[in-house]
């Protein structure tokens, strides 16, 4: 919303807001008649459907292509995938259903965060440069 306002495109923002409202309310009306899984699925679908027109309009306003955008965020996808893979492998060794202790849950979360940051450091030159600049700035 901030970009649309900064670029004086509040009319586009309002139309996208109407579309988003229609999608969210429709998903709520449909999903509430079923169980929580169907409700969540309807909500997810509404958000996915809303993503494309919003991003199309945003990219048109700031003059960026979908390909450029996805190239920029691909390190995040790769890091997320590696973190999920690591946590899945960890859950084979120590099944998630067996977690009965808050400390173990916190350790899982910290391990996942560590793998994510490490992977992002390895695959993203922007993150690596930022991280190194911040560390060197302190010393």
Over range 65-70, report the average pLDDT: 88
pLDDT at 95 over 90: no
Q: Which two tokens stand for residue 8?
A: 């004086």
20 and 44 together in one domain: yes
pLDDT at 23 over 90: yes
72 and 118 together in one domain: yes
7 and 48 together in one domain: yes
pLDDT for residue 139? 63
Over range 113-129, report the average pLDDT: 94
Give percent of the chain with pLDDT exceeding 70: 99
Split into its structural domains, the chain has a count of: 2
Helices (H), the chain: 2-6, 10-31, 36-62, 66-93, 102-123, 125-138
Chain mean pLDDT for the chain? 92
74 and 50 together in one domain: no
**Of residues 9, 128, 112, the one with CA closest to residue 60:** 9
Q: Max Cα separation, the chain? A: 59
51 and 111 together in one domain: no
The pTM score is 0.67
57 and 72 together in one domain: no
The last residue of a domain, from among 19, 36, 62: 62
| Structural domain of 113 | 66-138
Q: Are 53 and 19 in contact (CB under 8 A)?
A: yes
pLDDT for residue 1? 83
73 and 58 together in one domain: no
134 and 104 together in one domain: yes
pLDDT at 14 over 90: yes
53 and 110 together in one domain: no
43 and 6 together in one domain: yes
């Amino acid at each position: 919303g901030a970009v649309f306002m900064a670029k004086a495109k509040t009319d586009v923002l309002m139309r996208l807001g109407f579309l988003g409202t229609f999608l969210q309310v429709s998903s709520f009306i449909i999903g509430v008649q079923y169980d929580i899984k169907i409700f969540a699925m309807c909500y997810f679908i509404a958000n996915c459907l809303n993503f494309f027109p919003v991003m199309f309009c945003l990219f048109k306003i700031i003059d960026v292509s979908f390909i450029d955008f996805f190239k920029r965020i691909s390190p995040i996808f790769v890091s997320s995938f590696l973190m999920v893979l690591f946590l899945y492998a960890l859950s084979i060794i120590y099944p998630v259903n067996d977690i009965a202790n808050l400390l173990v849950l916190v350790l899982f979360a910290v391990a996942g965060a560590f793998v994510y940051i490490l992977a992002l450091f390895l695959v993203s030159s922007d993150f690596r440069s930022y991280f190194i600049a911040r560390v060197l700035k302190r010393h």
